Structures are given as structure tokens and as C-alpha cells.
């Protein structure tokens, strides 16, 4: 199955030339690059979150495969959906799904369901691809969306991902796709977002899960980030770095109701 672009022309430019030009505006050319195990990257329209995503992707060495974890905004499909085979297409490239990694994850955790329907219209993972197409060569992907999950589900999936990556024989980077606070005054959003970001920087998945719920932080991809944290900790990660944070107000000038965006690397 080939999944065609669902949000081209809405979240990003819908032609190859225009999209390449758009992404180029957000890439940090000459940025020092590092090997990482995971990243947090936003998924809003590129006009708003592109500079944060561009800064993150510009700062890492690309792997053989990106394992993509994102929230399920559409409500379609099971709780945790993995598209285990096929291709994803955007105007600037076609990405093959890593079937070997998919099979290894299926063997190592029972929390994920093989399913493609959840991915057809979901934007949170698709919006990562323009940066991968611009900076990477022949990179594969493995898309997983999360509609709902308990902390125990997140831990189980994270451990299963870690076991699957260990010994696979090529680099895999886990991308947790998330925007931060939604539609709050800028000052309030920054305060709430700092609480969540600090838990990520502390490599504390339980703390992030509990803080988001306790403080009512409207971080749409907190579950993917929690799963990623469990996975990279199991893989030996000891350091996290905030690459860039901003809100939509920095672009629109409207600071009364903003969405926050954070880019973080973990290694």
C-alpha cells in the first residue's frame, strides 16, 4: 500500500519545488550534528513550527530508519496502530516502511496493533517527512500512532521498541511528534510547557505522564514522548537537550492564544 500525502497544501507546500524551498528556509545550514537516540519534534503547519523542527533535524546525524511515534488526532483505528508495510509519499520523496523493524517490534510487545487505517489522514507523522526528504538519503520509516494508552502501556511499548532496536544492525532514531500547550496566553503556555519540558530533559517518563495530567497541560503528543523516553532510557540515553522552543505568537504576533513548540534531542 502506498499512503499518499494527506495534508500537502495545508500544513506544507504541495509541490516539490515549493516544498524544498519552504523547508530550506527552516534548515540551520552548517549546524553541528550529533548521534542521538530520540528527538521531540512539533507537527503544526510549517509556517508556525517549521523553524523548531528544522533546528532539531539540522542538529542530528540521520539514521537508517526513523521510528515515528505520534498522537492519533482523527480517532480512527485501535489504541496503538503500527503501519507495518508499504510506502509513504510526499511531494519531495517516497519513504519505504521498515518491515524488519516492524516485525521485531511485533515480536517484542503485545501493545501495538498492525493497522493502516489510523494513518491515512493523520498529520502528526507526515509533517516530519519534508525535513527527512530534504536532509536524508534513502531513509526508511516506521509509523506508530497512539490514540490512548496507560502508563503501563507506554512502558511496555517503549521496552518493546528498545528490544527491537537492540541488535538490529543499523541506526534507528525514535521521533516523538508533539506540539505543546494549545490556545493559552503566551505567558501561561510557556509556564506549563516548561514543566513538561523539564521532565523530558530529566529523562523522566513517569514524571511527564503525571505532570501533564496533574497540571492539565494540553500537550497533544505526550503519550508518544513518554513511550520514547521509556525506549531511549532502556537503550542507555543519559542526556537530553532543548534545541529550540517558541510559540505561535512569535510568528503571528498574537500572544493571547498560542500553541507551543519544542525541539529536543536525547542521547
Which residues neighbour 92 within 8 Å (Cβ) at sequence distance 6 or greater?
Answer: 16, 19, 20, 23, 130, 133, 134
Beta bridge partners of 258: 184
Quote the cell numbers at residue 148.
490512548
Residue 137 pLDDT: 78
Q: Kindly tell me the burial class for residue 216, based on how many C-beta atoms sit within 10 Å of its own C-beta (0-12, 13-18, 19 or more).
A: exposed
Q: Which of 156, 162, 245, 257 is nearest to 198 (CA)?
A: 245
Instruction: Quote the CA–CA distance of 249 and 5 in Å, as a whole number.
Output: 28
What order of strands is seen across the sheet that includes strand 93-96?
2-3, 87-90, 93-96
Q: Where are the domains of the chain?
A: 2-266
Q: Which of 127, 133, 181, 160 is nearest to 228 (CA)?
A: 160
Q: For the chain of 267 residues, list the mean pLDDT of each consecutive stretch of 10.
A: 97 98 97 98 98 98 98 98 98 98 97 98 98 94 98 98 97 98 98 98 98 98 98 98 98 98 98
Q: Which of 68, 55, 41 is nearest to 172 (CA)?
A: 68
Quote the cell numbers at residue 145.
500512532
Residue 177 pLDDT: 98
Instruction: Quote the CA–CA distance of 118 and 230 in Å, as a whole number.
Output: 23
- Considering the entire predicted model, what is its pTM? 0.98
Instruction: Quote the CA–CA distance of 78 and 146 in Å, as a whole number.
Output: 8
Whether CATH 3.40.640.10 fits 2-266: no
Instruction: Quote the CA–CA distance of 210 and 205 in Å, as a whole number.
Output: 9
Amino acid at each position: 500500500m502506498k499512503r499518499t500525502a494527506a495534508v500537502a497544501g495545508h500544513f506544507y507546500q504541495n509541490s516539490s519545488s515549493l516544498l524544498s524551498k519552504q523547508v530550506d528556509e527552516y534548515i540551520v545550514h552548517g549546524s553541528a550534528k550529533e548521534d542521538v537516540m530520540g528527538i521531540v519534534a512539533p507537527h503544526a503547519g510549517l509556517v508556525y513550527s517549521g523553524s523548531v523542527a528544522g533546528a532539531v533535524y539540522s542538529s542530528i546525524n540521520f539514521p537508517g530508519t526513523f521510528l515515528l511515534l505520534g498522537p492519533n488526532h482523527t480517532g480512527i483505528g485501535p489504541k496503538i496502530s503500527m503501519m507495518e508495510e508499504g510506502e509513504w509519499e510526499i511531494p519531495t520523496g517516497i519513504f519505504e516502511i521498515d518491515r524488519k523493524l516492524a516485525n521485531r517490534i511485533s515480536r517484542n510487545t503485545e501493545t501495538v496493533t498492525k493497522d493502516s487505517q489510523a494513518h491515512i489522514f493523520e498529520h502528526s507523522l507526515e509533517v516530519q517527512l519534508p525535513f527527512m526528504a530534504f536532509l536524508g538519503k534513502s531513509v526508511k520509516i516506521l509509523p506508530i500512532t497512539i490514540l490512548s494508552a496507560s502508563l503501563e502501556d507506554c512502558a511496555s511499548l517503549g521496552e518493546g521498541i528498545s528490544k527491537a532496536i537492540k541488535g538490529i544492525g543499523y541506526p534507528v532514531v525514535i521521533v516523538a511528534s508533539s506540539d505543546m500547550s494549545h490556545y493559552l496566553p503566551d505567558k501561561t503556555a510557556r509556564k506549563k510547557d516548561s514543566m513538561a519540558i523539564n521532565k523530558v530533559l530529566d529523562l523522566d517518563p513517569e514524571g511527564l505522564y503525571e505532570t501533564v495530567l496533574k497540571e492539565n497541560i494540553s500537550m497533544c503528543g505526550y503519550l508518544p514522548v513518554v513511550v520514547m523516553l521509556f525506549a531511549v532510557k532502556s537503550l542507555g540515553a543519559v542526556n537530553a537537550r532543548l534545541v529550540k522552543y517558541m510559540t505561535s505568537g512569535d510568528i503571528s504576533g498574537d500572544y493571547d492564544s498560542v500553541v507551543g513548540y519544542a525541539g529536543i534531542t536525547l542521547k
